[in-house]
Structure 1
């Protein structure tokens, strides 16, 4: 029997893995520059963690989670998003005591039972940021700036921020009622279950993927009409900070995000190069989540960025990420050369040169063919004659040129040749 990867999962093959490594390296370096420390959390958590954080009626909890009992009967869930596990770890390990600010980054798989399609898998991967303890508009703007700079560094053109505010609980109550009033005729024809879900969280109507719902909600009053002065001032300050940073943005009342824990600022990054499916990522402020998950009241803002989505976008806009190069392939023209080549390989690797050594005693022709397939720039060839004189034939595999170099000078020569 031949096995295949489960539906909705994807193998990252050696021909593709360099793109992941480069993207993750870009994210890690950017996070380091802004002072974010990396955190890693388990791939599964107590189910109640996600029920509490995402909302019992959310699509994530009601339709998309991989939930299972363990042998003790505890309900566990493969994490469908990474913010709640990060906050659980923050609370458990007291990573953000009151009065302090903590900046965390993560690279994590997420699991959702969803219909697989291009760029969307049942196991996918995210990079993300969480800024905890920061209540200011500057904290919001910082997370948005790092997010935008990530896509900018990757070379994704036409990226811009879509910004909105959901306001505080007080003004959101009036907004929720206005949404229900707008949707009343539409909801009257829907099922009892659909009406109950809408009444529990009307904002989900604005975030729905269902085309009928989207059409029904066209022309709904924007949340900005209901914002209190403090929320308006925060939104104005964020706009000023983004302008100062040179980050393109627009106000978009349609950005509400799909999880219950968001408050005040929400945002998405889109690219004009992608047509209708232009969204790259999203995030926002969640000032009540830490307390909801057992910690002290802690303001926070974060973002999650899909790795598969970013790689797909890079492919669509024709941007490539550099593959790691093999600097030199060591080929033996005689079995007697093997000890000398092993010694040379260790020296070259200590010098930082990526080196592949033939281990199978194949013909010289087969070894050079393998060097070409690996994309090696050079081959160092050692036969009986070279071994006797303590030299190697150094061949430039791109130009076809070959020079004789003393064995103890191969590393120096390769570094000088770039």
Structure 2
């Protein structure tokens, strides 16, 4: 994370315009400032960059050291020879002003000690896993996962002797315990969760996973709990307070929010982030400065955009719920009272989100007819943007998943995944109505 400077902007021998002298104000008049306020300036002092209101984009590959001794200190930190990390800017594969300001702000949403930015959500996931696994290890994970994540675990890491065991997203404590016990005979590298699951919207009980892990593994051998929080975070779910050790994001989605960048992020304690930082330094999966700068722009409106999209989704789903051509709707605002999913939602979440699964009556033909008839909603993968998107997971994002596993995970040919944007809700309802007429 970006470090403090003196009034002249000097940081342990490395003078850089982005270093902040007075930009770490977290409370005013005894009131703790909210993330939406801190997004406007935290981690950046305009007076250290010629008075520029917004941080400049630092398009440079390397940084000048004030002295040879300073350069040595910085490399000792970057390489891990000296604990504590880099004291200053070294080289853009390791750190940079835009990335460090972004990471400062990412950590705020979940009150995390540390944060890292990556070139994509999958590069974040891959870097985290590469930093943790060894041949012969097991990864325990919830199911379903994003298809590329399943491919990474099952096919790519599997080539290097890494095994996996899974449990369904809505598993009970007893079901989770059974999988933990099966894995406990060997070394478990991590417990990897995705909640809500992509694309079914099923929730994972993070608190039950934490309790099961702590009961199964001795303290010195407890694997970290890592969760992909892309669908609800950081506004509607904060997994660190429910027992997760690290939270991963595709920042392409809600954080970026305008479908114009690709990025990933990870937040958590210093203890779990430091090994990932070392791996990122080695393989170079850090986010580029321009995308980091664009994310700083987007974070300023994150709460506004997510709130509007969530309100729109509630209105659209209320209309879709009783439509005669809709078989069912997996929307977190419609969970059956008293059900396990509702219990998880009530304990873990503060909002139902704006992405949901629509199951049409019929199969691929009906789903394709609906998608092809949309006028306002765009036929595209991804989610969390200002525009409404609709896609067919079985034929698109999860095409590579074997048919039998898709069936077991409820990823059918009649499933359409929809991400609601910030358009007028009435206009979206009109669009879905005319599209359903074509089914």
Which of the five TM-score ranges fits, normalised by the shorter chain? under 0.3
Give the TM-score taking structure 2 as reference length.
Answer: 0.23
